[in-house]
Chains A and B, each alone.
Chain A
């Protein structure tokens, strides 16, 4: 289990985000609260080998989201996401 590069992309959390937001989220767009760059969620940096999921801005590496799942709950920290834009369901 020695991994030198643990970085994945947003597709690695497609299912997790669908579970939380009950819709497809990888095509949504997130604005980084740090550098202001806009990223498609499918292209963000994702780290899974941690106590929770850490999503980082592909431009500046700042944390966009922290997602913890335990005891039948989710905790979702979006301080690093200034705006999350996604298509409303029909």
Chain B
């Protein structure tokens, strides 16, 4: 008896080069919706994005201010720990480098927090250096709430649970603090190419 949904069986694209698909993953063409709870609904009138924690001057943007920041459009492959990968996904948003521009902090780690209470932890090195974005468009359209709209984090080089939906801010930290899944069996870093799925991987 299979009790836990271990992954979604989507259509396979067998002509995809294995160099783009990490071990243990299969390629899907749809976009599975993962949900650990109800979809939060937040009014953009009260929405803010914050950078807090170990920082001399915390930063905060309203929706209007956030949307006025320089944006980037990128194409990336994404890899969910439930074993599906989706190739060539297109996103538009603000790079975390832009959000952290000018920030004075000695922190090495970060916790990303979201509406609905979800958190995930990352080394700051995985959020900076053109590796992470706070995105508000998928495939040229406003990000659907089911996929994390109004904005989600996008960290394509790590398993997709790190790309927190409904993200509202980043807390900078001197020590690594495990997030929603990392505190209960999932790997602290989650590199799909090294199959860092669970504790001990």
Contacts and interface: CB of A to CB of B under 8 A. Distances in A.
A49 B34 contact: yes
B35 A77 contact: no
A6 interface: yes
Interface residues of A, number: 32
B196 to A, nearest CB: 12
Query: Which applies to chain B's interface (DSSP): helix, strand, loop or mixed?
Result: loop
A7 B201 CA distance: 30
Given A51-B81, A54-B36, A71 B198 contact: yes
Given A1-B8, A7-B38, A16-B4, A51 B181 contact: yes
A58 to B, nearest CB: 11
Contact of B33 (A2, A19, A62, A77): A2
B37 A47 contact: yes
Contacts of B37: 47, 54, 56, 61, 63
A49 B31 CA distance: 13
A50 B4 CA distance: 10
B36 A47 contact: yes
Given A15-B1, A51-B161, A52-B184, A6 B33 contact: yes
A73 B117 contact: no
Contact of A75 (B8, B161, B185, B201): B185
Interface in B108-167: 117, 146, 161
B184 A2 contact: no
A75 B184 contact: yes
A41 B35 CA distance: 20
B84 to A, nearest CB: 9
Interface of A: 1-4, 6-7, 13, 15-16, 19, 47-54, 56, 61-63, 66-71, 73, 75-77
Interface of B: 1, 3-5, 8, 10, 30-38, 81-82, 117, 146, 161, 180-181, 183-186, 197-201
